[in-house]
């Protein structure tokens, strides 16, 4: 199974800055069949970067898209419009859930639209600090998985990637807020057991599951060696060229 290293640039870099960063990144990393490097720039940079990117070295992801294919939806970009431009789309990120009030029904439609348009959804799930404190982690993970995958058939589930991003560990600056490998291992087991209930054991074993939550070069190796973790989704470290390259190199060493 591939290891996925996904960099979510969020609301950073204009088109020119994105192009310069991509140029430098492509010079730093070789082709590696077992590690899939994915970058998710802002929507405005996707089309020009799609002409620049070396798809043998890395792939493009959208940070968001609308679930309707076309129509009177001012300001939106559809999965249909992104088809052929990106290979992946991040869906259900905590910032979309908690800042933009996207609920499971909206996320369910987006996942289905991505699959329909042959774009791999990276479905983000994870509990907040208060949910964790009240012992609701298992319920949140199950509910978000059930909601996001409701319209995904057994024939299409192999076109989906899950990313566990505990909200309380995203952008952490204090060591106490970092998710330990034990925390991650427990969540991954729960995710895979829930997938087995929804589909079957083979799907649960083979579905790629990523971890995201204040990933950096010092902890990336530890997370990548957690049983059942197939890659990393990161924000801040993907914006710093040296750190992103280091994490890609770590993933290659762990994979080998």
Q: Catalytic residue numbers?
A: 93, 165
Residue closest to 217 by CA, chosen among 230, 229, 201, 234: 234
CA atoms within 13 A on the CB side of 75: 0
CA gap 41, 243 in Å, rounded? 17
**Percentage helix, strand, coil for the chain under 3-state DSSP, each rounded to 5:** 45, 15, 35
Query: What local confidence, expressed as pLDDT, does residue 132 receive?
Result: 92
CA gap 86, 118 in Å, rounded? 10
State how far the alpha carbon of 108 is from the alpha carbons of 15, 38, 148, 203, in Å.
30, 23, 4, 19
Q: H or E element: which one contains 124?
A: strand 120-125
For residue 170, pLDDT over 90 is answered with no
For the chain, what is the domain count? Answer: 1
Query: What local confidence, expressed as pLDDT, does residue 256 receive?
Result: 77
The separation between CA 12 and the C-alpha centre of its own chain, rounded to angstroms, equals 17
For residue 32, pLDDT over 90 is answered with no
Average pLDDT over residues 20-35: 95
CA gap 116, 156 in Å, rounded? 9
pLDDT band at 71 (very low <50, low <70, confident <90, very high): very high
- Residue-wise pLDDT for 206-226, tens only, equals 999 999 989 999 999 999 999
CATH code of 167's domain? 3.20.20.70
Query: What local confidence, expressed as pLDDT, does residue 171 receive?
Result: 64
CB atoms within 10 A of CB 39: 23
Average pLDDT over residues 197-205: 96
- Residue-wise pLDDT for 76-129, tens only, equals 999 999 999 999 999 999 999 999 999 999 999 999 999 999 999 999 999 999
For residue 175, pLDDT over 70 is answered with no
CA gap 93, 124 in Å, rounded? 5
For residue 172, pLDDT over 80 is answered with no
CA gap 176, 255 in Å, rounded? 28
Helix (H, G, I), strand (E, B) or coil at 37: strand
Helix (H, G, I), strand (E, B) or coil at 6: strand
What is the dihedral sign for C-alpha 45, 50, 51, 53?
positive
- The pTM for the full model equals 0.96
Residue closest to 66 by CA, chosen among 7, 13, 117, 18: 117
Residue 98 lies in domain: 3-255
For residue 176, pLDDT over 60 is answered with no
Paired tokens of 216: 């950096």
For residue 177, pLDDT over 80 is answered with no
**DSSP string spanning 221-236?**
HHHHTSTT--EEEESG
Say if CB 248 and CB 4 are below 8 A apart: no
CA gap 141, 129 in Å, rounded? 13
Query: What local confidence, expressed as pLDDT, does residue 178 receive?
Result: 82
Helix and strand numbers, DSSP H then E, in the chain:
11, 8
């Amino acid at each position: 199974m591939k290891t996925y290293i996904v960099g979510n640039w969020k609301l950073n870099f204009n088109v020119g800055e994105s192009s310069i960063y991509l140029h430098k990144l492509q010079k730093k990393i070789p082709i590696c069949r077992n590690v899939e490097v994915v970058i998710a720039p802002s929507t405005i940079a996707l089309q020009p970067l799609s002409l620049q990117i070396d798809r043998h070295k890395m792939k493009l992801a959208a940070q968001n898209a609308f679930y309707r294919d076309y129509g009177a939806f001012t300001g939106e970009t559809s999965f249909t419009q992104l088809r052929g431009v990106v290979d992946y789309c991040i869906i259900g990120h905590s910032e979309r859930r908690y800042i933009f009030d996207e609920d499971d029904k909206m996320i369910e439609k987006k996942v289905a639209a991505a699959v329909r348009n042959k774009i791999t959804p990276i479905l983000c799930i994870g509990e907040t600090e208060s949910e964790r404190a009240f012992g609701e982690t298992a319920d949140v993970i199950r509910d978000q998985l059930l909601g996001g995958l409701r319209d995904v058939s057994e024939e299409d589930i192999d076109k989906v990637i899950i990313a566990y991003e505990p909200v309380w560990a995203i952008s952490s600056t204090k060591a106490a807020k970092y998710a330990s490998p034990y925390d991650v291992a427990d969540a991954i087991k729960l995710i895979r057991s829930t997938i087995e209930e929804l589909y079957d054991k083979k799907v649960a074993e083979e579905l790629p599951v990523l971890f995201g939550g204040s990933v950096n070069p010092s902890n990336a190796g530890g997370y990548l060696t957690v049983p059942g973790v197939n890659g990393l989704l990161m924000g801040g470290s993907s914006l710093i060229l040296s750190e992103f390259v280091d994490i890609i190199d770590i993933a290659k060493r762990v994979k080998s």
